[in-house]
A = this chain, B = another copy of it.
């Protein structure tokens, strides 16, 4: 039995607090159970060198955790003097996913900086980050439209992300830290409101999975994502 009598295909309690901090162009505090992430979107009216002169914009992301987001204290990456491989992997995933939801030409020669700072971690920080960053980005786009900078929102479709896995042979949705640590297979699925895949990353943890298990995981994830998108659409 999962914590709080949660069913295998049930999300944890999900909450979005938009405008949680006041300076960014878009900001939200997103919670997936005890996982809490401050997601912000910053509009910069210039581009990184490799994107200039193509008449389109760019979206990039950074991710970090407070030292005591977790049960034991993590050394800060700033103190270590370098960003870990795990962090790089996550921030590349966030940026890549969001770009799939946006018409970069409508954005124009601008960069959207996404920052996801995990203040409390209990599994699923990358899926909560993507799902919250989607909202922060949407709020920033709304501001660009509201102040007349661009005519139309560059958002093509909403998207959200969720984890799914196999634990003791059963497919479960939205794993918390304890479940994630014990799972045989761990998969992150990112999908749009129209049901298209943006990214699938499915990893056997010193294990493997069959074609049938893959299909079952994708089905459960897909239902969770549609629930998340329904909640995102309430926010403005």
Contacts and interface: CB of A to CB of B under 8 A. Distances in A.
A192 to B, nearest CB: 6
Q: How many copies of this chain does the complex contain?
A: 6
A83 interface: yes
A38 B208 contact: no
B73 A44 contact: yes
A21 B200 contact: no
A115 B78 contact: no
Interface in A96-113: 96, 99-100, 104, 113
Contact of A104 (B88, B99, B206): B206
Interface stretch (A9-17, A141-149, A209-217): A209-217
A172 interface: no
A157 to B, nearest CB: 8
A24 B77 contact: no
Given A22-B34, A199-B202, A204-B100, A76 B64 contact: yes
A201 B203 CA distance: 9
A198 B204 contact: yes
B38 A119 contact: yes
A54 to B, nearest CB: 12
Contacts of A22: 34, 120
Nearest to A119: B21
B197 A23 contact: no
Contacts of A192: 208
Given A78-B80, A100-B205, 10 more contacts: A23-B70, A23-B120, A66-B117, A78-B82, A78-B87, A85-B85, A196-B209, A197-B208, A197-B209, A200-B214
Interface of A: 21-24, 27, 34, 36, 38, 40, 42, 44, 62, 64, 66-71, 73, 76-89, 91-92, 96, 99-100, 104, 113, 115, 117, 119-120, 192, 195-211, 214, 218
Q: Which 8 A-B pairs have the closest CB atoms?
A: A196-B208, A85-B88, A77-B78, A24-B68, A78-B78, A40-B68, A42-B73, A200-B202
